[in-house]
Amino acid sequence: MSETELRVSKIKDGTVIDHITPGYALDVVKILGITGKEKGPITLAINVPSKRFKTKDIVKIEGRELNPQEVHKIALLAPHASINIIRDYKVVKKQEVKLPKVIENIIKCVNPACISNSNEPVKARFYVDCEDPLLLKCHYCGYIMEKKDVLQRF
Ligand code: CTP
Ligand code: ZN
């Protein structure tokens, strides 16, 4: 983006999720449970030019900082995203999202016959076989979930 143009304004306090895989901003907003009925401003930018990759999405949330589980959820959809914590207009913390090797209790298996979907008291558990494109292997049934399966479960 040229220096003469500012597409979305800076925020005062909150979180900027930057370098989101283009096309996934709306999913990121959804997994964060944002409905649009919140008080503070929320800014989305979709398919905007990026220096690092060709294009990216951005989500800016005024007045909210994310917890680790939310960061892991974002990593499932946008493995190159960075989370910037903003306080008084300054970036006070920058974190690249990172998926743990084992994912527990974040999403459920799509295989309806999987024991983790029965009434048994087992925690959903997946192994990250690949981050991009996403491949998650269920610990119990071996089912391989892709990003589209994950999106369906959120
Ligand atoms: N940002 C914002 N409000 C602020 C400060 C920063 O919305 N008060 C946004 C910037 O627009 C950018 C992101 O937060 O999208 C990260 O800011 P910064 O680290 O200053 O930008 P870069 O150096 O370009 O980041 P990176 O190296 O991660 O690409
Ligand atoms: Zn399973």
What residues pack around ion ligand 2 (CB closer than 5 A)? 109, 111, 114, 138, 140-141, 143
Q: Is residue 114 part of a domain?
A: yes
Looking at the structure, tell me whether residues 79 and 118 fall in a common domain. Answer: no
The rounded Å distance from CA 148 to ligand 2 centre is 16
Read off the pLDDT of residues 29-83 as tens digits, 9 standing for 90 and up.
Answer: 999 999 999 888 999 999 999 988 899 999 999 999 999 889 999 999 999 999 9
| Ligand with minimal distance to 124 CA | 2
8 A C-beta contact, residue 75 and residue 89: no
Looking at the structure, tell me whether residues 41 and 87 fall in a common domain. Answer: yes
Looking at the structure, tell me whether residues 71 and 141 fall in a common domain. Answer: no
Looking at the structure, tell me whether residues 43 and 78 fall in a common domain. Answer: yes
Looking at the structure, tell me whether residues 88 and 31 fall in a common domain. Answer: yes
Provide the total of helices (H) and of strands (E) in the chain, helices listed first.
3, 9
Looking at the structure, tell me whether residues 39 and 87 fall in a common domain. Answer: yes
- Domain harbouring 126, CATH code: 2.30.30.20
Residue with the smallest CA separation from ligand 1 atom 2 is 10
Domain span at 91: 14-96
| Ligand with minimal distance to 143 CA | 2
- pTM confidence score: 0.91
